Amino acid sequence: MDVMYERSVTVGIGPISREDVMAVARHDAQVVITDEAWAEVRKSREIIEALADDQSPHYGVSTGFGALATRHIPIELRAQLQRSLVRSHAAGSGTEVEREVVRALMLLRISTLATGRTGIRDETLRSYVAMLNAGLTPVNINYVWGLNDAQAQTWMHPYFWVTGMILLMPVICFLPVHFVFARLMPQARA
């Protein structure tokens, strides 16, 4: 890890600069969220809280996602729906993504979350920022379909890894997936 960068990067409701991304990704600059952004995050969370108890369908709150968007989720299962979404995206196999790339994308996700358009809880954004500021960068991997490193890869966003860590899901369950499959199916890597 580089020596601590001497400046911090302030994230608000507007865009961040390329220089800010480079400072966090390559030099471990600290991230600070503006008061305006915190106010927007709280405002959007209040909207989600209201929708979560509503009987009417609201995409991703009281319905499934994607192909399951028309499936209504009962109120008592909605918290489980959110946890299941994180779990379903926090597994994969393939080559490790470079630390600075993951840090850059974590900052971009923080910037998106700080706009107040996502409905997340304060604690989620605080945890995300705290992890980035502490230098805790998840080992992110490219998901390789068919376990063949030569095939096209779909990058798995660190948001799901970080959220999984925040939810206290044992990351150790996800990391060995590639190694297990590589041992069970060595011909897939050929």
Cα 140 → chain centroid: 11
Could you give all domains of the chain from N- to C-terminal order, each with its CATH number?
A: 8-189 (1.10.275.10)
The CA dihedral of 162, 164, 168, 174, to the nearest 10 degrees, is -110
Q: Which residues are catalytic?
A: 59
pTM: 0.72
Q: Report pLDDT for 145.
A: 43
Q: Report pLDDT for 152.
A: 43
| Joined tokens for residue 48 | 């989600």
Q: What span, in angstroms and rounded, lies between the C-alpha atoms of 41 and 117?
A: 7
Percent of the chain with pLDDT over 70: 65
Mean pLDDT of the chain: 78
Half-sphere exposure of 35 (CA within 13 A, CB side): 0
Choose the weakest-confidence range: 71-75, 114-118, 134-138, 163-167.
Answer: 163-167
| Joined tokens for residue 157 | 């966003």
- Banded model confidence at residue 4, pLDDT cuts 50, 70, 90: low
Read off the pLDDT of each residue in 8-14 and give the average, rounded to a whole number.
97
Q: What is the pLDDT of residues 61-92, one digit of tens each?
A: 888 878 888 999 998 988 888 877 776 666 55
Radius of gyration of the chain (CA): 18
| 2 vs 116 pLDDT, higher one | 116
Q: What is the pLDDT of residues 122-162, one digit of tens each?
A: 999 999 999 999 998 877 655 544 444 554 444 455 555 56
- Banded model confidence at residue 181, pLDDT cuts 50, 70, 90: low
Q: Report pLDDT for 183.
A: 60
Residue 27 has pLDDT above 80, yes or no: yes
